[in-house]
Structure 1
Amino acid sequence: MTVILNLRILSYWRAGTGRNRPGALDALCQRDHDGLPMIPGKHLKGLLRDAVRRAHGVGWTPSLDETTLFGGLDAQADDGLNGTRGGCIRVDSALLPDAERAVLRENPDLIALLFDTRRSTAIGPNGTAEPGSLRFEEVAVPMTLEARLCAVGAVPDGWESELEKALTLVRAVGAQRTRGLGRCILTLEKRGAA
């Protein structure tokens, strides 16, 4: 059985690359090998780790903590890795579902419609734009992405239901989450034979 993390992104969003397009865009979206928007698994793992840590802290996930699921520092570890242990779940990058990818491969001119440009500027204390602060950033339009969660070790019983509780704590993905980008709803879906 495969567990899929569904990311229903409700607003413009951007998983940043740290790169720009000189003279045109100050920030670009992360793209996969087909030029489609994506969110790296490392970014998702960090969001999920934080959500599980917070959920465990308030008792929502009593048998599941972030170290068990995703690995990290563990005072109990005896693995010769300075108190670290690997997690039991691997988080793949979030990509467009296969059906949408197939349509876009057949119609590559549609890919440009998945992106837009967002303009922003810093406003100074006198209420006017700060000199040189105008930015043009590439953003992706709202869409649904999927990421596989793969067991790479012994997973605790009931981890999916506890993780689903923690997912409600993730409100946004990508860059500038606290500034309104990447609002989302995350859910889990089981596919295939048990």
Structure 2
Amino acid sequence: MTINYELKFFDYWHVSSGLSGGAALDSYAVKDSAGLPYVPGKTIKGLVREAAEMFWDRGDIDKCFGSRGSKVGQENNDDTTQAQCYFSSAIIDEKIAAEITSNELESNLFEIISATKIDENGIAADKSLRDIEVVLPITLIGRIENIDDKFAQNLVRALKSVKRMGLNRNRGLGRCEFKVKEL
């Protein structure tokens, strides 16, 4: 079974590429080879797994999402489980992406925001200014494949539980909603 979904962002969002811009930027948003933003499947998988852990049986979580071998107190434990479910990256719809790239509009999807630490006296702390590249609110599409029928409804529930994503999600960035389009 496959779940197709839309991931709609309501605010600026930032999923980090891990790259710094030196003096220009502290962190770039992740982009594909065409310069378009996307959310990696592993990011979605991690957030959905975190949501699923609130109401799913541990054995089913390990089957669907996979597990690592070494558990607390069990060094060198090779008891790993391969993930059954495959999480694609969430990307811009193909037709919209083609329109954006053919008109060279990729840079219009991004803004730079700045933040600084304010000390107890209300004054900006020295050397605390940070600039990050954020993506404008946009809708992405993705899918989860190879789903056992018994996992489908819990995966939908976990997807719908994810309300924020990316950097500073607890400070106003990355407010989002997953909408299941097709089961």
Conservation of the 8 A alpha-carbon contact between 1:173 and 1:184? yes
2:152 alignment counterpart: 160
- Aligned-residue offset at 1:2: 4.2
Q: Which runs of 5+ in 1 are unaligned?
A: 57-61, 76-80
Distance of 1:68 and 1:82 partners within structure 2: 16
The amino acid of 2:158's aligned partner reads: A
Aligned to 1:69, the other structure's residue is in SS state helix
Indicate yes or no: 2:98 matched with 1:94.
no
Aligned to 2:39, the other structure's residue is in SS state coil
Distance of 2:39 and 2:134 partners within structure 1: 12
Q: TM-score, normalised by structure 1?
A: 0.83
2:163 alignment counterpart: 171
Conservation of the 8 A alpha-carbon contact between 1:53 and 1:65? no
Q: Percent identity?
A: 33
Q: How does 1:94-133 map to 2 (within 5 A)?
A: 94-108=90-104, 110-133=105-128
Q: TM-score, normalised by structure 2?
A: 0.88
Change (3 A) 1:6 1:126: same
Distance of 1:47 and 1:166 partners within structure 2: 9
Q: Which runs of 5+ in 2 are unaligned?
A: 71-76
Aligned to 2:111, the other structure's residue is in SS state strand
Q: Deviations over 1:3-47 (max 9, x none)?
A: 223211111001112222122211110001110011111111101
The amino acid of 1:67's aligned partner reads: D
Indicate yes or no: 2:78 matched with 1:82.
yes
Aligned to 1:35, the other structure's residue is in SS state coil
RMSD: 2.1
The amino acid of 2:45's aligned partner reads: K
**Paired positions, count:** 177
